Every structure is written in C-alpha cells, then in structure tokens.
C-alpha cells in the first residue's frame, strides 16, 4: 500500500468520478484507475461500486475511507512539522480571498511576511462565492479567506476572520434612489441588478440575493460592479467598506429593499487538513487568525451566506 494509492482513493471518493479525481490530482484517468485497482487488489476487497456513472463507496470502502483519511491527514501534518523544523521557507505561498474581503489587514500581514522572508513569492487570487472552495480543493491555494460556501468542514481547519455587511445601493439620481421606500419588487425588476458571477467551475447554485425575474448584469469583480453602480446603470449590493466613501459623499445611496437581506457575510481563514504547510504559510495562517478585523470569535459563530431567489 502506498501514499499515492491512498491519495487517489480519497480523491475518487471525494469527487465521485475517476475523471474528476484525475483532474484534481493532475494525473491521467488510467493512472488514477490503476492506483485504485492496485490498492483494491492488495486489500482483497472492492472499495467502489462501479456499476453506475458515479463511483460509489462500498460498505468496505466507507470503513476504509475513515482510516485512509486519518492516515493522510497525519502524514501531511508530520510533513508540515518537518518543513517547519528545517526552518526553510517555501518558494511560493498562495492565498485565495473572496471578492468581498477587506484587504487592508491582509496587506499589513503581507508586509510583515515580506520583511521576514523577502525571497518568498506571495500569490493573491480573488474568487467569488464558491470559487474559493474550488481553489482549495484543486490545490490552487494554500490558504483562503472566504465564507463557508462549498467548504467541506470535515476536511479543513477554520477560524473566523471578520464579518462583511453587504448593502443594496444605487447612484443618487437613479430612479430607484428617488422613488421612496420601501421599493416594490415590480419596480426593482424594471432596472438592472448588478451581480457577481460565481467563479466555481460548473456551479449550478443560484446567485446570492438575486431578484428572480428581473433584468441582471453580471460582473467578475467588485471594482467593476462599483463603477457600473456609480455610472447609474443599475442597482446591487456592495460590501460596506467598499461603498462607504461613495455613501459618505452622496454619490451612492442605500436602498430599502425588503427582498434583499443585508446580512453580514461571515468570512473565515481556511486551510486544508490533508496538505503540508510550510514555514511562511504557517506564519500567515497564525497571523490571519489573530489579526483579522473580527478575529478571535469561534468559527461556529459564522454561517455560509444564504443563496436565494425571490419570486
């Protein structure tokens, strides 16, 4: 039994198909199938029921999965510990953040990391909605700051970072800003709602706080969304820290939209349990947990943003 066999087995169990597991592991499908077949041959049991399109764990497979996951998690934890003992910094650390994340505190943390490890390259990627979970799952990120949307809580370590309030706004002279409150749904549907597109691959989930049956424009970053709103071409939700300046000057006004719940989106610092974490990644993890605007609260206090369509 080898480490690669266990990793392939867990990937197929997690993804549900050999093709998806091969994409996740960056291996060919025949290579992944061979690893799992050899593992089954060594154990003398079938771990997957292959009669359907999706590879479903057998009873023996489910029991084996629990032990295999624990072994891989322990192996990666030991590898992380060994990397830290060596004191050698890894060459690259990748952080994925949700588009609504306030970056000020993160820049302060990056500045300190750069001073301590000037030769380490830091890659910062912005994702939207469930896209951050994808980045972790596909090994495109070592750490993430995001909601719990799409996150498998059993597979990650998680700590609260901060809460972000998203407010529905429009330009001061937009028809929705001058019609009085509360705004009726029929009037909202007559004007374009500007929404962020989920960056998760193949996501079939409905967008967050989207008015059903209305006109909508989609964008891929918060800055573009703000510019469209400032141009008076629609209405939509902006993080409070992004909208604050324009709200203070009166360029944007907050809308009273009963159909749009201005919930606080809870953001968390997240990393996978089954991956090694080097010296710099560990230091960033500890600082993000400690130095976020809302750090210190237990992770259980948060919740994933609710996705909903309104009729």
More confident residue, 214 or 98: 98
**In this predicted model, what pLDDT tens digit does every residue of 144-182 receive, in sequence order?**
999 999 898 888 999 999 999 999 999 999 999 999 888
Q: What is the pTM of this model?
A: 0.71
What pLDDT score was predicted for residue 201? 77
Domains, the chain, ordered by start: 3-85 (1.10.10.10), 89-163+265-310 (3.40.190.10), 165-263 (3.40.190.290)
More confident residue, 228 or 205: 228
What pLDDT score was predicted for residue 310? 35
pLDDT band at 84 (very low <50, low <70, confident <90, very high): low
**In this predicted model, what pLDDT tens digit does every residue of 271-293 receive, in sequence order?**
998 888 888 999 999 999 987 77
SS3 of the chain: the string is CCHHHHHHHHHHHHHCCHHHHHHHHCCCHHHHHHHHHHHHHHHCCCCEECCCCCCEECHHHHHHHHHHHHHHHHHHHHHHHHHHHHCCCCCEEEEEEECCCCCHHHHHHHHHHHHHCCCCEEEEEEECCCHHHHHHHCCCCCEEEECCCCCCHHHEEEEEEEEEEEEEEEECCCHHHCCCCCCCHHHHHCCCEEEECCCCCCCCCCCCCEECCCCEEEECCHHHHHHHHHCCCCEEEEEHHHHHHHHHHCCEEECCCCCCCCCEEEEEEEEECCCCCCHHHHHHHHHHHHHCCCCCCCHHHCCCCCCCEEC
**In this predicted model, what pLDDT tens digit does every residue of 27-43 receive, in sequence order?**
899 999 999 999 999 99
**In this predicted model, what pLDDT tens digit does every residue of 90-109 receive, in sequence order?**
889 999 999 999 999 999 99
What pLDDT score was predicted for residue 244? 96
**In this predicted model, what pLDDT tens digit does every residue of 221-239 receive, in sequence order?**
999 999 999 999 999 999 9
């Amino acid at each position: 039994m080898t480490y690669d066999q266990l990793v392939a087995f867990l990937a197929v169990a997690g993804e549900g198909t050999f093709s998806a597991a091969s994409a996740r592991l960056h291996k060919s499908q025949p290579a992944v199938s061979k690893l799992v077949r050899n593992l089954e041959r060594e154990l003398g049991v079938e771990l997957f029921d292959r009669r359907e399109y999706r590879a479903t764990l057998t009873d023996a497979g489910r029991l084996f999965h629990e032990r295999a996951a624990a072994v891989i998690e322990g192996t990666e934890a030991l590898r992380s510990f060994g990397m830290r003992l060596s004191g050698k910094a890894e060459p690259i650390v990748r952080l994925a953040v949700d588009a609504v994340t306030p970056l000020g505190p993160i820049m302060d943390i990056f500045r300190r990391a750069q001073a301590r490890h000037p030769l380490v390259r830091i890659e910062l990627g912005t994702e939207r909605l469930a896209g951050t979970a994808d980045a972790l799952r596909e090994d495109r990120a070592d750490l993430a700051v995001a909601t719990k949307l799409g996150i498998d809580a059993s597979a990650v370590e998680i700590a609260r970072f901060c809460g972000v309030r998203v407010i529905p706004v429009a330009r001061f002279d937009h028809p929705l800003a001058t019609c009085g409150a509360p705004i009726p749904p029929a009037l909202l549907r007559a004007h374009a709602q500007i929404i962020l597109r989920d960056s998760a691959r193949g996501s079939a989930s409905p967008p967050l706080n989207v008015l059903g049956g209305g006109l909508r424009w989609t964008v891929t970053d918060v800055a573009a969304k703000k510019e469209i709103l400032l141009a008076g071409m629609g209405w939509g939700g902006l993080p409070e820290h992004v909208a604050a300046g324009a709200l203070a000057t009166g360029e944007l006004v907050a809308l009273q939209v009963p159909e749009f719940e201005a919930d606080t989106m809870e953001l968390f610092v997240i990393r996978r349990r089954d991956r090694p974490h080097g010296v710099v990644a560990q230091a960033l993890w500890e600082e993000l947990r400690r130095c976020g605007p809302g750090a210190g609260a237990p992770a259980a206090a948060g919740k994933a943003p609710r996705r909903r369509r309104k009729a």
